[in-house]
Amino acid sequence: MVDGITIPLIARALAHDQRLALIDDAGQYTYVELVGAARRVAAGLLAGQSDLAEARVAFLLPPGFGYVAVQWGIWLAGGIAVPLCTTHPLPELAYVLEDTAAGILVADAEFAGKLQPLLGRPGLRFALASDLWRAPVQALPAVESERRAMILYTSGTTSKPKGVVSTHRNITAQVQALITAWEWTSQDHILHVLPLHHTHGIINVLACALWTGAVCEMLPHFDALEVWQRFSASDLTLFMAVPTIYTRLIAAWEGATPAGQVQMSRACAKMRLMVSGSAALPVSVFEKWRAISGHTLLERYGMTEISMGLSNPLHGERRPGMVGQPLPGVTIRLVDETGKEIRATGQAGEIEVQGENVFLEYWGRPEATARAFHDGWFRSGDVAVLEDGYYRILGRNSVDIIKSGGYKISALEIEETLRTHPAIGECAVVGVADAEWGERVCAAVVLQPGHTLSLAELRAWARERIAPYKMPSRLQVMAALPCNVMGKVTKPEIIRFFAED
């Protein structure tokens, strides 16, 4: 405990004191300013209570100082942080509030209008972040490491996303493993362009930076030219992104003048490490980025339930198409379809994981939680092979999971929404391999009699119902969906159809 704070990440921030912690579009902030704001947020959330006692607090704020102050304030008050996605439409935000039974919703003023239709929910208290920052400081509860800390939503093999619950112990283990593996120090300075409702942005970038006393520079959203400008103007040492972002940075570099390309490439040289993850990195992108930047991207493997599990080495060979070896404190094994461990090199099997990094449970879904574990091992659902000491991911063992642009998306969730379109009778959503996105979301539909439907019309309709990254980028109208003898849609046939088209 440091100054009444029992949460390791925040207690460490006090020791960094007047060091620069965050840079956003509004200014620069020290660690002591960040902790002070978090204390006031905690007091505002408590509102005279002694402990939120794991009440769920959903929050919708743009990247920056306010986001971190609210996240930390929730933890200091003893609550469970439920970060919301700034680009999600109202139905998806409403689902998270309902599924978590959130008692408090915190938002920035710019999102208050968007959230207005949700504010009449019984038992939901709404607070503006700016009001919480004015609360007088009060005594804080002792928060044990086994307490639930955060719920992040991830798509699974059911039609709706599941809430992945991490404890403070889980988060500490996740951060410490990455700091050890990638040798974070207080001299690091990272540019943050990733979503903050996802483990990649929250743990890999934000939490690791603030644990070590480094500087985290946050952009409100990704813009390729702005990122290249920050590469040149800021004293950066680290950058982490998804393959789609690297593809767009490459396109921006290729569109620059020869003199501009030289300047952009030189800007990369000062950095010590660039990391790619959340989706498979195409070898072509790996090679192009190395030619442009001089950096051999470090690819790693993780998912919301475990944060990170495997990583190519910081020092040593980084092999394209490979995700390396287990991170410190993480144990990995491959198993066959019967659950028996595979010991032979080169034989494919499902990845199973053990370690303090592994999540606690799926929120409110004990049966799904039980199915996710096998003899104490977390069943990832990803198939891999071990080759010369390095793991290579082969894909999902479910065609209903799509990885696109760094997001893991449930095809079944999208199908459920598309079926409400008045022109659609039947539909099947699949992921089709794509060099830029990892996989593209593609929809095959059978129309209701007398109806027509274009991709543009479908996307315009879907914009108010599902997140932008979940919307189909390709549409095929079919007379009938291919099915097996049991009447189940054979998605591999649909994937082949799109791939060959």
Q: Which amino acid would we find at residue 495?
A: I
Residues 355, 361: Cα–Cα separation, whole Å: 14
- Distances in Å between the alpha carbon of 330 and those of 203, 310, 378? 16, 8, 12
All structural domains of the chain with their residue ranges: 8-143, 192-356+368-394, 401-500
Task: Give, in words, the CATH class of 8-143.
Answer: alpha beta
**DSSP letter (8 states) at residue 479:** S
What pLDDT, on the 0 to 100 scale, is given for residue 418? 93
* CATH number, domain 192-356+368-394, options 3.40.190.10, 3.40.50.2000, 3.40.50.12780, 3.90.1170.50: 3.40.50.12780
For strand 27-30 and strand 20-24, is the pairing parallel, antiparallel, or unpaired? antiparallel
* Residue pLDDT, tens place only, 468-494: 999 999 999 999 999 775 567 888 899
Helix ranges (DSSP H) in 278-407: 283-293, 366-371
Q: Which amino acid would we find at residue 90?
A: L
**Dihedrals phi, psi of 389, to nearest 5 degrees:** 85, -5
**Dihedrals phi, psi of 469, to nearest 5 degrees:** -75, -10
Burial of 450 (0-12, 13-18, 19+ CB in 10 A): exposed
The string of DSSP codes covering 244-272 is HHHHHHHHHHHTS-HHHHHHHHHHHHT-S
Residues 439, 478: Cα–Cα separation, whole Å: 21
Residues 352, 360: Cα–Cα separation, whole Å: 15
Q: Which residue in the block uniquely carries the two structure tokens 């599990």?
A: 309
Q: Any idea which fold 401-500 has?
A: GMP Synthetase; Chain A, domain 3 (3.30.300)
Cβ(147)–Cβ(55) below 8 Å: no
Contacts with 262 (C-beta within 8 Å, 6 or more apart), sequence order = none
* Residue pLDDT, tens place only, 57-70: 999 999 999 999 99
* Residue pLDDT, tens place only, 135-194: 898 899 999 999 999 999 986 545 688 999 999 999 999 999 999 999 999 999 999 999
**8-143 with 192-356+368-394: one CATH topology?**
yes
Q: What is the number of other CB atoms lying within 10 angstroms of the CB of residue 328?
A: 14
**Dihedrals phi, psi of 492, to nearest 5 degrees:** -55, -35
* Residue pLDDT, tens place only, 77-121: 999 999 999 989 999 999 999 999 999 999 999 999 999 999 988
